[in-house]
A and B are shown apart, each in its own frame.
Chain A
Amino acid sequence: KNEVEQSPQNLTAQEGEFITINCSYSVGISALHWLQQHPGGGIVSLFMLSSGKKKHGRLIATINIQEKHSSLHITASHPRDSAVYICAVPHGGATNKLIFGTGTLLAVQP
């Protein structure tokens, strides 16, 4: 059983659309990470959140600890938002290693 599940796996949107990516996890966590991976592979950290909601520009991340669920929203999507969005949770051990979801491949068309 995957400890971190994301949906959808693939998402195509038109420029300007509101986008939601979902993440569910099965382990107890202290915080959840949303990451972005562009073609070419580099990973950028978008959010780390442990409760409620965070906003950065057009990106909004929410988390419900009781339901073990988080969402990443993109408002007014743009082609430059096209990337893989990955949910990851720290789990186990003393060093908070991350367990990653499989990612959501987002393509925003002009």
Chain B
Amino acid sequence: EPEVTQTPSHQVTQMGQEVILRCVPISNHLYFYWYRQILGQKVEFLVSFYNNEISEKSEIFDDQFSVERPDGSNFTLKIRSTKLEDSAMYFCASRIPPGGYTFGSGTRLTVV
């Protein structure tokens, strides 16, 4: 069964550093998403991406965040200057309507 692959599984970074979280969605899917889950809290929507551009973003997704799909396969989330409160599990997901979502296994980001 096709999978959404995320790397790395765990990243530790110093406050103020830039991080790039990587995802390889399912190849024929059309919609791509990033969600995050702060420890002990519910999963929250960050951004959706369709037709090579951001289609929707949440209030969380401020100027320090950016997404790219540079080569038609990888889908990346960049955090420019990490803060302690960015520590969370970040999930990539993809879908092709009318089907449901396929989630990646997540990247646990720890900012120290």
Is the CB of B66 closer than 8 A to any CB of chain A?
no
Complex: chain B residue closest to A92, CB-CB = B56
* Contact residues of B: prevailing secondary structure: strand
B101 engages A33 (CB within 8 Å): yes
Q: How many residue pairs bridge A and B at CB < 8 Å?
A: 62
A11 to chain B, nearest CB (A): 17
- Pairwise interchain contact A42-B103, C-beta atoms closer than 8 A: yes
Of B14-22, B43-51, B69-77, B79-87, the one with at least 4 CB within 8 A of chain A: B43-51
Q: Mark A18-46, 1 if CB is under 8 A from B, else 0.
A: 00000000000001010100000111110
Interface size classification for chain A: 20 to 34
Give CA–CA (A75, B45) in the complex, Å: 32
Q: Is the CB of A98 within 8 A of B35?
A: yes
16 intermolecular pairs with C-beta atoms under 8 Å apart: A33-B101, A41-B89, A42-B104, A42-B105, A43-B43, A48-B99, A48-B100, A48-B101, A93-B55, A94-B55, A94-B56, A95-B33, A96-B31, A100-B44, A101-B42, A103-B42
Binding site for B on A (CB under 8 A): 31, 33, 35, 41-45, 48, 86, 88, 92-103
